[in-house]
Amino acid sequence: MSRVDRKPMMAGNWKMHHTHLEAIQVVQKLSYRLQGEDYDQVEVVVCPAFTALRSVQTTLDSDRIPIALGAQNVHFEPKGAFTGEVSPTMLAKLNVQYVIVGHSERRELFGETDDLVAKKLRAVLGAGMRPIVCVGETDDEREAGETETKVSGQVRAAFHGLKGDDAAKCVVAYEPIWALGTGKTATAADANATCGLARATLREIVGSVADGVRVLYGGSVKPGNIAELMAEPEVDGGLVGGASLDPDDFARIVQYHRSR
């Protein structure tokens, strides 16, 4: 299976930005800028903060906007005494289709381990949603030549023991940590090589199913660099932070295909 068979995805990770009122405006503006051909070519996902999920969901539903709803995090238990947490069932009931798991900010700032990421991945699948599993190396690891070990290790830890039909529902996002919010981007060739490595590692676990799994690149994706990244055969889309906050910029990123 080649890139041609994997529909590109652009997922906006809004992080801790946009109140629910701002989020409604952003998603509406984004929808005014996108046309049917954009949705035909690219799967568009927005991942608002928990507080904005319901408002964005009703906006998408009532205006019949074909943008998929994503969440930025989840707890792995279906319910219980976990103050401040949100369960997979709660998200699924809001028509959330994708959940980011293992973002480097969760791993670095909130102590999420590979083990926890693996549990969350399974919980997301168990609730009928699709995980976007983030992997990536720090600057120090890159300097030490440990990118491949780190990324393949994280992929193995997340997917170990997963059945092929479950893996087929997942998305992987390669996000070099040194490129997040820094304005530094991996070269298109490096992004391609590491996205390819993530896929090759997945292939060791689930075989040819891995060829249908989308592997996104994330790290200072902008309207000006997305076309070059998407020209690479192993890069199936972008996980976009800062540039997804602005509907004009995010629309231009989605519309990279128009310049082909």
Q: Which stretch binds ligand PEP (CB under 6 A): 26-34, 108-116, 151-159, 240-248?
A: 240-248
Strand 9-13 to strand 171-174: parallel, antiparallel, or no bridges (unpaired)? unpaired
Interaction residues for ligand PEP, span 158-177 (CB under 6 A) = 175
Closer CB to ligand PEP, 68 or 180, in the complex: 180
* Binding-residue total with ligand PEP (CB under 6 A): 13
Tell the smallest beta-carbon distance from residue 120 to ligand PEP (Å).
16
Indicate the burial class of 60 (C-beta count within 10 angstroms; 0-12, 13-18, 19 or more).
Answer: buried
Distance CA 33, CA 250 (A): 10
Q: Which two tokens mark 67?
A: 């943008």
Interaction residues for ligand PEP, span 8-67 (CB under 6 A) = 13
Answer for which of 70, 131, 219, 247 binds ligand PEP (CB under 6 A) is 219
Distance CA 217, CA 237 (A): 6
Instruction: Assess whether 103 carries a catalytic annotation.
Output: yes
Closer CB to ligand PEP, 58 or 182, in the complex: 182
Strand 68-71 to strand 130-135: parallel, antiparallel, or no bridges (unpaired)? unpaired
In three-state secondary structure terms, 7 is coil
Contact present, 15 and 72 (Cβ < 8 Å): yes
Tell the smallest beta-carbon distance from residue 81 to ligand PEP (Å).
30
Instruction: Assess whether 18 carries a catalytic annotation.
Output: no
User: Considering the rule CB under 6 A, would residue 73 count as an interface residue with ligand PEP?
Assistant: no
Q: Which two tokens mark 56?
A: 């964005």
Q: Which stretch binds ligand PEP (CB under 6 A): 43-51, 82-90, 199-207, 212-220?
A: 212-220
Distance CA 251, CA 246 (A): 8
By beta carbon distance, the residue nearest ligand PEP is 241
Tell the smallest beta-carbon distance from residue 152 to ligand PEP (Å).
20
Distance CA 252, CA 256 (A): 6
Q: Which residues bind ligand PEP (CB under 6 A)?
A: 13, 175, 180-181, 218-221, 239-243
